[in-house]
Every structure is written in C-alpha cells, then in structure tokens.
A and B are shown apart, each in its own frame.
Chain A
Amino acid sequence: MKAEARNAAAAVVLLALCAVPFLAGKFTVYLAMRIMLLGIFAVGYNLLLGQTGLLSFGHGAFYAAGAYGLGFFGLHVSGNPLFGVAAGVAAAILLAILVGYLCVRHTEIYFAMLTLAFGMMVFSLIWNAREITGGDDGLIGIMRSPVSFFGLLEIPIGTDRQFYFFILFFFALSVWAVHRIRQSPFGLALAGIRENARRSEFAGVPVRRYRLAVFVLSGAFAGLAGSLEALLESNARPFMAHWTHSAEPVLVSLLGGLSSLTGPLVGSAIFIAMREIIQRFTENWMLWFGIVLLVIILGFRGGVVGTLSAFFRKAAAPGEG
C-alpha cells in the first residue's frame, strides 16, 4: 500500500475512533476501550512474535507489573495518572530487563517455556505476598484522578467518555511507535534475526542484545496496557500475570495475522466483539468461542488481515496470482 493511502486510512480510523463516544452507547464505548487495551498489548507483543520470531508465554507478568506499578504509585506516591502510567511502564521495563536477560539466550520452545515459568513465578509472587499485594483479592480501589500538568492544567478523566480519550491517546501513540519501530533499521534487523539468526550474527548484528531490546520494548507496551486497565477497572489482580492472560496476545496475533501491524489490532477487535456476540446467544459461550477461533485460525492462513490482503492483491492484479 502506498504511504499516502495508508496515512489516509489511518486518519479515517482515528477519526472514527474519536467519534465512538459521541455516537455509540456506553457499553460499546467500554468495549472499544477494552479492544484498544488488548490492541496495545498485542501490537507491542507482536514486535516480539511476528517481527523477531520469539514466542513468549509470559507477557502477562509485564502487564501485571504495569497494573501493580500504577496501583502502588497511586496509593503511596501520587494519584496523577500520567505519572502513574509512567511508573507502571517503568516497573514493566525493569521486570522485562530482568526476565529478558535470563531468557533471550534461548530460542523456540526453550524460550517459550522459560517465559512461561517466569510469568507464573510472578503470578505466585503476587498471589502469595498478600500483605503487600492483597493476594487473590488484588489491589482494589485504584482511583482515576484528573490528569494534572504541574497544577497549570487539569483534565478530568473520571467518566468513561473522558477516560476513553485518555486510552485513545496512548493507543494511537503505541500504534504509531510500533509502526516506526517496524520501519526502522532496528526493526529490519529484527526481521533479519527472525529469518536467519546466524546470518544476522555474521552480518554483525548483536543478536542477543537485539532480542533483549525488543523483549523489553514489548514488555513496556504490555506494562502500558496493564496500567491503563488498572485505571479503567480500578483494580489490579494476580490473574493479569497468569499464563491464560499471557496467551491472549498470542491468540489475537494469530487471529489477525502475525506479519502486519494491523493484524493484532484486527485480531483484538474480533476477539472481544466475537465473545460478546456469542455470549448474547448462549451461556456455553466458551465452547462456541473456541470453535469460532479454531475455524478462523485454521481457515485464514496468515490471519484475517493476511488472508484479506492477499485476496485484494490478487483481485487488483488478475493473472499474476
């Protein structure tokens, strides 16, 4: 796609997202917020999976670090949500450096298992340190104070409609940042590592350091999503670090498509909307949800976005297929 067309499309989507709180009902606004949160989580995660070819099952830990980081900061230091989000992301980055340092020397299944183990370690740590974290009750009563710029300007984010724009801001920022990272020499080097790590090494790319860097970056996006969710739901809970939650960005990336920026975003939207639709028809939603996901993942090779873009390319250039 040409750059102008792509920018125009992005602008249209952004405008549409801005219009949501004015046109849609409250519950749709809430679902849109959940989709954007999962989108931030997944689009950052896909830097690791789609771009670098590393499958992590532990990113829930960084998501939780973001949520608890914001929670503790809010309870003990300052209620300003901007600082809180910064504290959450910082906590996620620190944890990602620690875990990443120990994991990136391995690849494939070993890497996946190690991240899974570390993720579950964080989960049990949160669960058991109940004096500090509140155990399975989680951190409760996290407040949404107004965003304040050193007392000069105050923007309230108390209502859902106001908070929607707070999330939209970070969502747009994240998508733009991930887009830039993918296009940068750094991003291309990551793709090189995915295709052939040994060749990249011979070409002078410090593979392990690059892997650590992208691991920490994706952890930071997970932390951002986690801290925003803590503000949205006013709580942080241990299950954020559980492997079932770590599997969500994997699933939505597969659903939407690993090889594009938009894949995980589309996947997030499908994941949340589909579940909501199915739940309106049946209480056995898990079964039907599973079947639908299976059909999409098996039926759309390269994810929904991958399949559709291949289809349109074919349609645009008949005879070349």
Chain B
Amino acid sequence: MEKKGLNRRQFLKLTGAVPLVAAAGSIGGGLVFPKGLWAATPKIKGPIRIGYQAVLSGTLAGYGEFHKMGAVMAIEEINAKGGIAGQKVEMEFRDSTLKPDDAIKNARYFVDSWGADFLCGIDSSGQALALAPVMSQLDRPLMVTHAATEKLTEEFVFRKGIKQIFRNCMPTYNDGNAAAFIAKDFPAVKWATVSPKYEYGFTCWKMFQETLTKLKPGVSFTAESWAPFGTTDFRSHINTILDAKPDGLYSTEWAGELISFLKQAKEAGLFDKVKYVMLPVGAAMDVLEGMGKDMPDNIWISARYYFQYPNNKENNGWVARFHKRWGHYPAYVSETAYSAIHAYKAAVEKAGSKDTKAVVAALEGMAMNSPAGHRVFRKEDHQAIYDVPWGKTKSDPKYPFKVMGNMRVIPAKEYFNRPPFEGPGTTPPFK
C-alpha cells in the first residue's frame, strides 16, 4: 500500500524512519482517544479493512497525495500499537478522480469485492452527494474528509436519514458563516467576490452575504465574478473587481486556481486597492507553500485545519512526526484523513464491534481528541464540530512561507447551522 504512490526517496525515508516513528510514538503519545471495553467483548474478526479514495489524477492530484500521507501515517501508528481492538488495519487507496460515477464504482469495489469495513475520503461535493444513496445500499460507514457541501449532512443524513454518512472536515459553514463573523468587525461595507463557478462557490458566497447582512445591516455586495473550473487567466475577473471598487474581497477560489488568482491579482495591484481580503481556504498548505514569499501580507485566511492551531502538545507533536515522516507540513486533508481513521478506531473499540450499525451508533455523539483539537460528531447530522482559526498572513523567519498571525477563533457552535436546518433560529447568529 505505501510503496506505490510514493517516490523512491520517500520510500527510503520510510524504511529509515521506522525507529524514529516508533520513538516519536512513545514520546509524543499524548493522543488520547476514548477507550471502550473491547477487551471484554467478543472478539472482532480481523483484519479491519479501510477503503480510501481521493483524487490522484488531474490538476488536483496533490490533494490525493496529502490524504494518503495522513491515512498511511495513522495506519502505521495504529498497527505499531496493536491495531484496532487488537486487529491489524489494512487500507486500499484508490483514485477517485472527480467524477461521481468513478467514486461510486470505487465504493462498490471496496465493499462488494475487496470487503471493506469502512470507507473514507471524497473530495468533490458532487461525488459525496451521489454516493449518499449508494452508501445506504452498501451499508458501510463513509467518513467524508474533504467534500464540504452542507447538503450532504443536512439533506441526506438529517432529512433522509442516511445514517452511514459522517463528515469529520469543516463544511461550508466555515467558508461562508464564519467568514462573515470575522468580516463584521472590519470597517468594510462594500463587498465583492471572485469565486468558483460551481455549487461550492455559489453556496459559500450566498451564506457569507446572508450572515454578514444579519450581523451588520447596511453592508452591500457590489460585484460577483465567477471563474469556471480550470480557469488559469484571472485578469478579466480581477478587472471586474477593480472596477467595482469594493472595500472587501471574498473568494473561495482554492488550490492551484487560488495560487494563479493571487499571483495575477498581486501583479494588478489589487491588494493595494482592496484593503480587506478574505480567503476561506487560503491557509491550505498547498496554497501557502505554492505562494511562498509571494503571498501578500495582511490578508485573512482560514482552512479546514491549520497546522499551527491548536498550539498544544498533541497537535505540535503530530505536526513534528508528520514533518519527519513526509518532509511536509500537514495539509488539512492530511489531518482529516488521519483523524478519520482514528475516529473509526475509537468507534470500533467503543462499540466492541465493527458492524455498521454498532459503529454508526458509537460514532453518533462521540467526542474525540485529534490534532485539530476536540471533535464531536453531532448526532442529528453526523457532522463533526470543531474549531478552526482565521488569521492574517505574515512572514515568519522559521518558515519558507507566510503563516497566520492575529489568530481569531470563532467557536464552531456559534456559526454551524443547527438542526432542523430550516426555519428561524437554524442559521447564525444565534441568540
């Protein structure tokens, strides 16, 4: 499993790093996961098989590799300490591409052919939504670690009752609602956006507008420029924004497209003219590393996990182990991948079984510690609640890229939509 997608250098590092990892595991063993009484219950038949799929081809292939680093590391560490409930963990990793039919085929392969107990991964929202009915048919838990559409948990888990779906990454609430909580404290009143021309971009912008209007009546939204998937030339979008002369720019562009956008916007002097810039996925590791020192200062960024938050022993220890193992700082999908597998471990050991029904019941309402901090899986919609930071970009001599300064954390409970997800009192702000 680990040798295929890695290059030779990383593989050599792996073989050399085994004692290191073991040592780090024993020193940095501050990871505390709730332990059940699995030893006293009937033995679970092993091995425990986890089918993981993420995008490994095309322009977003880097994300798949980041998923894999987190997942491989979790499994190595778990197996080194005796596995899940005493059973060895096996993983198969597949390229999900970005097409829903490929994701469905992989899921069916994992369950029907390979015999997976649990599924993980999924980058695109379209894939997640298409998979939901399939998962109820296949009857295996799926922990979504990247796709952010709130429809997945609100519509399929809560309203339609598809219990097999869980998500441990931030949904669009952070990109839309939390951004508004940060933006309300700026003097900016005129906002504009350059965002992806697909559901994710539309949804976040709408959420941002609605929440910000409630928090700060009087704001206006003056320009929208939608960039289709695969845009490389952002000049016309940048000009649209410059012409509108907004006080603030909000953008949910991400990955390579965000890098292109930022570089071109900097050249056009956009950051001199627009004082407040918010990038809900700007603190993704691929963007920070990709921009390096070219990243403009003083723009507000966030991500679904950021490696310097929380600043505690558990997270710092994990980041250090990760860096030693892979030569990278963990991307947010590395963290969600790592924590997803630990969530399954905790749930199986709590349930004393790996049967879908028991594991689903164990996961509902389960609390766990993870590198990203304290996570709780909300019972109603199976969405993990945890906090992520927002902050302003700044230089730090310790890193070859810009980091987050002036960190601000809005508690997730204050901006996550609440069940039943329609009617008054279900969207923030809550009184």
Chain A interface (Cβ < 8 Å from any Cβ of B):
25-28, 30, 34, 127-128, 130, 134-138, 140-141, 229, 233-235, 237, 239, 276, 279, 282-286
Contact = CB atoms under 8 A, between A and B. Distances in A.
A229 B229 CA distance: 25
Interface string B85-111: 000000001110001110011001100
Nearest to A136: B198
Interface residues of B, number: 31
B198 A135 contact: yes
A285 B95 contact: yes
A135 B226 CA distance: 14
A292 B361 CA distance: 46
Interface string B239-272: 0000000000000000000000000000000000
27 contacts: A25-B112, A27-B109, A27-B113, A30-B108, A127-B198, A135-B199, A135-B202, A136-B125, A136-B198, A136-B199, A138-B100, A140-B132, A141-B160, A233-B101, A233-B104, A233-B130, A234-B134, A235-B100, A235-B129, A237-B101, A237-B126, A279-B94, A282-B4, A283-B4, A283-B5, A284-B56, A285-B95
A138 B126 contact: yes
B164 interface: no
B24 to A, nearest CB: 27
Contacts of A138: 100, 126, 129-130
A137 B134 contact: no
A283 B56 contact: yes
Contacts, number: 76
A248 to B, nearest CB: 11
Given A137-B199, A138-B126, A234-B133, A283 B100 contact: no
B153 interface: no
Contacts of A141: 133, 160
A249 B112 CA distance: 27
Contacts of A286: 57, 95
A25 B95 CA distance: 22
A233 B100 contact: yes
A134 B129 CA distance: 11
A284 B126 CA distance: 23
Of B126, B198, B199, which is in contact with the most chain A CB atoms at under 10 Å from its CB? B126
Contacts of B93: 283
B202 to A, nearest CB: 7
Interface of B is mostly: helix
A26 B101 CA distance: 17
B95 A130 contact: no
Contacts of B197: 128
A26 B202 contact: no
B151 interface: yes
Given A34-B105, A137-B149, A286-B57, A237 B202 contact: no
B95 A283 contact: yes
Given A136-B125, A233-B101, 11 more contacts: A26-B112, A30-B108, A128-B197, A136-B199, A140-B133, A233-B134, A235-B130, A237-B101, A239-B100, A276-B109, A283-B93
A136 B129 CA distance: 11
A130 B198 CA distance: 9
A288 to B, nearest CB: 12
B112 A283 contact: no
B108 A137 contact: no
Contact of A26 (B99, B108, B126, B132): B108
Nearest to B160: A141
B113 A137 contact: no
A137 B101 contact: no
Of A27, A137, A286, which is in contact with the most chain B CB atoms at under 10 Å from its CB? A137
B346 to A, nearest CB: 28
A228 to B, nearest CB: 13
A130 B108 contact: no
A30 to B, nearest CB: 5
Contacts of A283: 4-5, 56, 93-95
A100 B101 CA distance: 28
Contact of A140 (B99, B109, B112, B130): B130
A136 B56 CA distance: 20
Contacts of A279: 94-95
A136 B130 CA distance: 11
A282 B92 CA distance: 11
Nearest to A238: B126
Interface string B7-50: 00000000000000000000000000000000000000000000
B99 A25 contact: no
Interface in B305-332: none
Nearest to A239: B99
Nearest to B100: A237
Report the 4 A-B pairs with minimum CB-CB distance, sorted nearest first.
A27-B113, A26-B112, A27-B112, A136-B198
Contacts of A130: 199, 202
A239 B105 CA distance: 16
Interface in B55-77: 56-57
B95 A30 contact: no
